[in-house]
Amino acid sequence: MNFELKPFSLVEAANQKCDALLVLVPQEFKPGKDAFSALLGQLQKAGDLPLKAGRVLSLYQPAQAQAPRVVIAGVEGGSAKQWRQAVQAAFASVKSAQPKKLVLAVAGPAGEVGLRAVVSALAEASYVYTTTKSKPEGRVLQKVLLACSDAAALQTAFARACAIVQGVELAKEWANRPANHATPTLLAKAAQQLAEQPRFGCEVLGPKEVAKLGMGAFMAVAQGSEQPLQFIVLRYNGAARTKAPTVLVGKGITFDSGGISIKPAAEMDEMKFDMSGAASVLGTFQALAALRPAINVVGLIPACENLINGRAVKPGDVVTSMSGQTIEILNTDAEGRLVLCDALTYAERFKPQAVIDIATLTGACVIALGAVRSGLFAGNAELGQALSRAGELAQDLCWPMPLDDEYGEGLKTQFADIANVAGRAGGAISAAKFLQGFTGKLAWAHLDIAGTAWKSGAAKGATGRPVGLLVEYLMAQAAPERSAK
């Protein structure tokens, strides 16, 4: 979908030929003298102007506009949530007409918060998954013209919002694909395709290379599947080689049956989403390709399936990780931390300024935070604060969780250096404590996206989170004026 931002007045926006015109009206709106503003003024005077977020007024072929369909929606207080509600309600009013070209005009300045919310909400509302349908009916909406009085001051924010949409939609695409269409090998090919762009590089390590590295924990998870594991190393080189990179580690379990500790059958199909962390890394790199910031970023994706056969790892087995630490696998369904721990050890070779792992790691995090905020576990306070700020800016929220040493007590075992699970209490925290044990002196943070990576029920599908948060964090590491040419 193509977005365009113009500093048009209301009357200029109304004079654009399009299939539908959506007009968002902030609470502080004051009508001007042009014909369309006068119309809004009349509606305001009559008490018919919808100002509450989510309320709309639909007009058909009004004389003051070129579009056959005009929808007026209120933004009320102007928070990100209210901008999104206004866009969602307005687009829902015209969606059945299948508009190909849309003009969205703001009756006043949009501001950075409003602009970001408008772009993301329109993209989300019009997104359609088609890859595995025999007769796909894809996204109808092809072009959106955004008009607001402060457009000139919002070009940088607009470019970033559009790049994030590209990244989110790539992440959605791969997370939404069923497991037989998103195998570890196919995921590796997607990364290699990304790396065809300038300043990118990609290396894919197979079973032999991973065995040579001593990634015993990763290999243990993969050994129950016929699909070969893939360890994907994706690089974006936007700065000098001497500049330390940020490393993103995405959990890439392309299907999770739970292994011998098998999951219940109900909703097991949703375990295709267990590689959403990996998908978010791919999506973030897609956004980097559009923005080209002056930073270096490494993406590590340990990709495999967690299935059951005669070779599958068993509860009680002890494996040796790449770090040399031995792990007693008490629960084979706690596999994400096993593939991540080896990837975290591998990350040390890049001497990174920060390492962030992203994983649909624990059902416990869903219980703790629901689907609103991702869980943020930061071994480094400064890194944690930066990620929180990025989440607020991107409207992709997270929440800081504790990492007290006492939460790791349950991981002690007499048969290995560490067990892969503790008790049920504080399960998201003990999982993070397990990972922390493989980070050494790295500036490290962990994002548990088990509650935010996808939606269930009638709206089942990937959300593309936390691509927005990650992109905002990375862009904050580079001065805008020094972006790569």
Do residues 127 and 174 both lie within one domain? no
DSSP 25: E
CA 322 to each of CA 266, 287, 299, 326: distance values in angstroms, whole numbers, following the listed order: 35, 31, 18, 9
Question: Domain for residue 446, yes or no?
Answer: yes
CA 387 to each of CA 63, 191, 256, 347: distance values in angstroms, whole numbers, following the listed order: 49, 24, 28, 19
Question: Domain for residue 211, yes or no?
Answer: yes
Res 441: pLDDT: 84
The stretch 22-46 carries a mean pLDDT of 89
Q: What is the mean pLDDT of the chain?
A: 95
Question: Could you read off the pLDDT of 405-460 as tens digits, one per residue?
Answer: 999 999 999 999 999 999 899 999 999 999 999 999 899 999 999 999 999 999 99
The stretch 187-194 carries a mean pLDDT of 98
Q: Which amino acid is at 46?
A: A
Residue where a domain terminates, one of 153, 187, 211: 153
Q: d(Cα 332, Cα 227) in Å, to the nearest integer?
A: 18
> What single string gives the DSSP state of each residue in 218-240?
HHHHHTT-SSPPEEEEEEEE-S-
Do residues 145 and 235 both lie within one domain? no
The number of distinct structural domains making up the chain is 2
pTM for the structure as a whole: 0.96
For residue 122, give its domain range. Answer: 2-153
Q: d(Cα 337, Cα 67) in Å, to the nearest integer?
A: 53
Buried b (16+ CB within 10 A) or exposed e, 224-255: bbebbbbbbbbbbbbbeeeeebbbbbbbbbbb
Residue where a domain terminates, one of 120, 153, 186: 153
Bridge pairing between strands 230-237 and 296-306: antiparallel
The stretch 107-115 carries a mean pLDDT of 94
Do residues 229 and 336 both lie within one domain? yes
Q: d(Cα 299, Cα 412) in Å, to the nearest integer?
A: 31
Do residues 235 and 383 both lie within one domain? yes
Res 140: pLDDT: 95
Question: Domain for residue 160, yes or no?
Answer: no
CATH of the domain at 77: 3.40.220.10
| Unique residue bearing structure tokens 């790049």 | 163
Question: Could you read off the pLDDT of 331-360 as tens digits, one per residue?
Answer: 999 999 999 999 999 999 999 999 999 999
Contacts of 431 (CB under 8 A, 6+ apart): 334, 336, 337, 361, 362, 364, 421, 448
| Structure-token pair, residue 81 | 């949530």
Do residues 302 and 382 both lie within one domain? yes
Res 482: pLDDT: 43
pLDDT at 108 over 70: yes
Kindly name the residue from 95, 189, 199, 263 that is annotated as catalytic: 263
CATH of the domain at 189: 3.40.630.10
Res 481: pLDDT: 40
Do residues 440 and 341 both lie within one domain? yes
Question: Domain for residue 389, yes or no?
Answer: yes
CB 171 within 8 A of CB 276: yes
The stretch 463-476 carries a mean pLDDT of 98
Do residues 220 and 89 both lie within one domain? no
Do residues 178 and 271 both lie within one domain? yes
Q: Read off the pLDDT band of 1 (50, 70, 90).
A: confident
Q: d(Cα 36, Cα 285) in Å, to the nearest integer?
A: 42
Question: Could you read off the pLDDT of 212-249 as tens digits, one per residue?
Answer: 999 999 999 999 999 999 999 999 999 999 999 999 99
Contacts of 314 (CB under 8 A, 6+ apart): 260, 329, 332
**Residue from 334, 330, 336, 326 nearest 357 by CA:** 336
CA 354 to each of CA 203, 256, 297, 344, 447: distance values in angstroms, whole numbers, following the listed order: 21, 28, 10, 11, 13
Question: Interior CA angle at 484 toward 481 and 485, to 5°?
Answer: 100
Q: Among this protein's residues, is 337 annotated catalytic?
A: yes
Question: Domain for residue 228, yes or no?
Answer: yes
Do residues 396 and 426 both lie within one domain? yes
Q: d(Cα 344, Cα 264) in Å, to the nearest integer?
A: 30
How many residues are given for the chain? Answer: 485
pLDDT at 188 over 70: yes
The stretch 251-261 carries a mean pLDDT of 98
pLDDT at 485 over 70: no
CB 448 within 8 A of CB 364: no
CB 152 within 8 A of CB 7: yes
Q: Among this protein's residues, is 6 annotated catalytic?
A: no
The stretch 243-268 carries a mean pLDDT of 97
CA 184 to each of CA 187, 229, 454: distance values in angstroms, whole numbers, following the listed order: 5, 6, 20
3-class state of residue 202 by DSSP: strand
Res 479: pLDDT: 56
| Unique residue bearing structure tokens 């993301």 | 120
Kindly name the residue from 116, 251, 272, 337 that is annotated as catalytic: 337
Do residues 205 and 56 both lie within one domain? no
**Residue from 119, 122, 124 nearest 161 by CA:** 119
Do residues 147 and 273 both lie within one domain? no
Q: d(Cα 254, Cα 276) in Å, to the nearest integer?
A: 9
Do residues 204 and 178 both lie within one domain? yes
Question: Could you read off the pLDDT of 286-327 as tens digits, one per residue?
Answer: 999 999 999 999 999 999 999 999 999 999 999 999 999 999
Question: Domain for residue 158, yes or no?
Answer: no
